[in-house]
Structures are given as structure tokens and as C-alpha cells.
Structure 1
Amino acid sequence: MLVELVKVAKFPWSPWLAQVRTSFGGTAVRWCGDQAAQPGKYHVEWTVDEDIVWGRNARPADGAGPGVRPGGHCVVLRGRLNLTDNGAAVLDFDGSQILLDLAGPLPEGTDGTWVELHIEREKIALHPYEL
């Protein structure tokens, strides 16, 4: 996914964080790239390092379409949830696929629906890559 990196910063209580913008929102998340990265456009892979628990950090989305925004101490990701044959889940996030670890089964009928994930910003990471 192509994002616009606004800045990379480090605070004493957190890992390196990147302030990023997309065409559907922006937020700050953990940055796994060069700490001296300059503002600009970067291709990134998103990862979520938190188990998904329906009703706790995952719920039906209000509306359709991808989204990303700050939510207090969390980041809110909105995407289409798809279940795999082996019991895992993938969030389709504007064409980018984010593999999710499920802590338990999801309710019937959630496959293919728009969901919101509320994840601590330190548990969402951006990994820049070159094309």
C-alpha cells in the first residue's frame, strides 16, 4: 500500500512511530523502517500483532470502505474481513491484505463484511519496501 509518511518520531515510552496519511485517513503507528526516513510516499506492508477478539477489539463497521483513524490509545482500521479455509482471517485494507490471528471463533455471517479493528498503535506496524 502506498502511504504518505509525514514524520517519524520516538518518545521515551514508545517505539519509533510514523505519522502517516492515506486517501482514506491517517494515524500514527509503529515504524519498522529507517528511523531517519524523510517525509514522502512509501510502499508499506501493514501487520497487526494482537489477537483479534470479536466484541473486544473487533466489531461491525459503521459504513463501508477502508478507513484508518486514531481512536484514543488505539488505531481504528476499517476493512473487509475474509476468513480462510484454515481458520485464520485476513483484513482487506484497500487492496492490502493484513493477516490476523484470531483468539476464538467469529460470529456467523462475518465473512466478507466490513469491520473495525481497535488496536493499540504499538501493535500495528508498517514495514516499508521497495518495488
Structure 2
Amino acid sequence: MKGDIVALATAVVIGAAFKTIVDSVVKDIITPIIGVITGGTDFTTKFIALNGETYATLEAAKEAEAAVMTYGNLIQAIINFVIVGLFIFLFLRAYEKTKQKEDPKPVAAPKGPTQEELLAEIRDELRKKNNA
């Protein structure tokens, strides 16, 4: 049980470190590429003011204390999720390829008496009982 706890704690620490790496890859490398592809659109600034008024920016709407639905954050979160999922998938796939695949050795059947030997034993036992 203690070994399992240590393994779990190690996995949590490594997972936290891996998260920072993945976040950096997403934020510093992939997101700018997506920004170029989408024409520099920053989805986090997309919003709908629920009071019916129009605001130039999200900050202006928040300063006016308007209730806003920031659907752009949801879009950005979905994009980040897909990117992180793809990155982890590719990482694990590469990891699996590096592992040595061992050929399972066929397990030999346990050695025992042959059928003929068993029949001979039965015959001998029957002879002993009939002679006794």
C-alpha cells in the first residue's frame, strides 16, 4: 500500500510539471499559430452584454457593471482542450513506441504422465484390487 501512495504522489508531481510544459506549448507556440490562421482574432474578448446595450470592449462592459456572457472564453477553452488533448495523445503515442515490446514466451504445459502411463497405472490398480 505504501508503494502505491508513493507512486501516486510521484505521478501528481510529474503531472503538475508536465502541465506547465503543456501550458507553455499551448500558450507560447500553438496559440500564436492559431491567431495567425484566424486573422489575429482573440476569442477571449468576444462577449454578449445581457442588458441589451452595446459596448466597444469587454473591459468597458465590466466597468459599466453590465452582466456579460463571455462566450469567447468558452471557445478559447475548447480550443485549448483540443490542443492539450492532441499534444498529450502524441506524447503518449511516442512514449509507447519507445517502449521495448517483449515477445511473450509461450508457456509450456506442465509435464505429467502420458495417457498411456495413466492407463497402465489404472490397469495395475485394478489388478491389485481383483487379486486381493
TM-score normalised by L of structure 2: 0.19
Q: Structure 1 or 2: larger helix share?
A: 2
**Which structure is richer in relative contact order (CA contacts within 8 A, separation 6 or more)?**
1
Q: Whose radius of gyration is greater, 1 or 2? A: 2
